[in-house]
A and B are shown apart, each in its own frame.
Chain A
């Protein structure tokens, strides 16, 4: 199982990469692995939408289940990844890279309090077997 150091993680298995006032959000390798083959991705927010932490931003559907995705951080949506909608299997292939879901910006800075670091998330995942 892959976990990227320096990223932040939510209990719902989303990751956040913070660069300045911007944050990129996706779902983790653990999440894609437990969902198995992803067949459908829906991003339900679009550019300009304001999102609060824990707001629903979309749905990832695999051959086994459909799972909601929430943003772990607040801000204004500045980009949604169109290519992952067209190629849902990207989530299985590259969950931390090409399969990012949205990017948000928050001029007051990205609030990552309440999120786990890579080390804590690793323990969290191991605890779930």
Chain B
């Protein structure tokens, strides 16, 4: 859309229409001293100067392109095919918004519909919405759905200590003002204690929803099929927060009996960009569809029998019965959802399997190498995907400083989120970590710096 400012002639015409002489007359009601306050702004730069300054600011930041990255913990460094930027930069798509007259933008709606279909397939669920802000807010929307599903009669939301601590914190923020809702997270004791079995004992008749992460925050994988049966036997809903890349390789949440699947969609072709904007995945079983928050695009036919797309089931969103809606959220991450749809279409089933397999294999290669370094010990004793926790011989912050000196971005210092995990690093490996980079990482960890050129 072009921005065309008013011309002087138009201004004069408007002033004449309301019967005043000048713009000063228009603002006469505002005391003079407030009318044009002095704003201490920079006097301006030339484009060349501004460009140089922006470059300087950007260079002060460390990009994953400049280092060898072993940091994950919810945001992952994957390859983003060049075609993605090319397609999403098209003028027709380059907006984060679903237009306010959505049906006039059939291309936008079709993009969302394709995204929903892909997410439903990937998670093994019957329906997916048009997306939420990010993984954490999608988790919170799941909690709100569960609250409404039981009409506020079940007040407990049980969260695995294997859920990303930031997601749990966002759920707490969203849900703390819902009447009587309480969030229960068993205290983290040790990595070995973060299991479905230990969570199962805490499910009771008060429980509205049980939430786990798959793979969990520490990379652990469990088959939740039996656990889902236990949750359902207590009458509660079972929600899984997933890493979509992992689903290229693993049994789907749908196969395991999940009622709701949420997750962070960033790994699907979305850049790390300092933590956002990301993409909240949200899928559910068909019988929950009317309680699913946000927007859902459906396929139909128009009055000439041609295929067409519409926003569907909006009666409960914000238009007709907003006071009865599960949630009044109606933003979706349109552009990032489109990115995920393009990424998944581009890779295809086989490509996604390959990416997941590479992540898995490389992470296991790295874990095996690291476990042989004296003083380092891999804590994961159950199957894991592309992330694992390592007990280190020194504080992680010190090790990371040393690694960075060698051009390596180390893993997350887990003590920052879980104080009892002193000297424990959470390491992520993706398809972008070459064997050489992993070998280098292990070499620096082992204290051997002879071959280092930097």
Residues on A facing B (Cβ under 8 Å)? 40, 42, 44, 59, 61, 65-66, 68
Contact between A61 and B151, CB atoms less than 8 A apart: no
A-B contact pairs, 14 of them (CB 8 A): A40-B290, A42-B290, A44-B151, A59-B324, A61-B290, A61-B315, A65-B315, A65-B320, A66-B315, A66-B316, A66-B320, A66-B321, A66-B324, A68-B324
Instruction: Mark each residue of chain B from 143 to 166: 1 if its CB lies under 8 Å from any CB of chain A, else 0.
Output: 000000001000000000000000
Please give the distance in Å from B149's CB to the nearest CB on chain A.
11
Interface of B is mostly: helix
Considering the complex, which residues of chain B in the window 300-342 have a beta carbon less than 8 Å from any beta carbon of chain A?
Answer: 315-316, 320-321, 324
Write out the residue numbers on chain B whose beta carbons fall within 8 Å of the beta carbon of A65: 315, 320
A40 nearest CB neighbor, chain B only:
B290
B291 nearest CB neighbor, chain A only:
A42
B289 nearest CB neighbor, chain A only:
A40
Please give the distance in Å from B5's CB to the nearest CB on chain A.
43
Please give the distance in Å from B152's CB to the nearest CB on chain A.
10
B interface bracket (residues with beta carbon within 8 Å of A): under 10
**A44 to B290, alpha carbons, bound, how many Å?**
14
B321 nearest CB neighbor, chain A only:
A66
A42 nearest CB neighbor, chain B only:
B290
**A40 to B312, alpha carbons, bound, how many Å?**
14
Please give the distance in Å from B235's CB to the nearest CB on chain A.
12
Write out the residue numbers on chain A whose beta carbons fall within 8 Å of the beta carbon of B315: 61, 65-66
Write out the residue numbers on chain A whose beta carbons fall within 8 Å of the beta carbon of B320: 65-66
**A68 to B290, alpha carbons, bound, how many Å?**
15
B315 nearest CB neighbor, chain A only:
A66
**A62 to B263, alpha carbons, bound, how many Å?**
32
| Best-buried of A61, A65, A68 by chain B (most CB within 10 Å) | A61
**A65 to B324, alpha carbons, bound, how many Å?**
13
Please give the distance in Å from B421's CB to the nearest CB on chain A.
44
Please give the distance in Å from B62's CB to the nearest CB on chain A.
51
Write out the residue numbers on chain B whose beta carbons fall within 8 Å of the beta carbon of A40: 290
B316 nearest CB neighbor, chain A only:
A66
Write out the residue numbers on chain A whose beta carbons fall within 8 Å of the beta carbon of B316: 66
Write out the residue numbers on chain A whose beta carbons fall within 8 Å of the beta carbon of B290: 40, 42, 61
The 4 A-B residue pairs whose C-beta atoms are closest, nearest first, are: A66-B315, A66-B321, A44-B151, A66-B320
Instruction: Mark each residue of chain B from 56 to 79: 1 if its CB lies under 8 Å from any CB of chain A, else 0.
Output: 000000000000000000000000
A65-B320, A66-B316, A66-B321 given; name 11 further pairs at CB < 8 Å: A40-B290, A42-B290, A44-B151, A59-B324, A61-B290, A61-B315, A65-B315, A66-B315, A66-B320, A66-B324, A68-B324
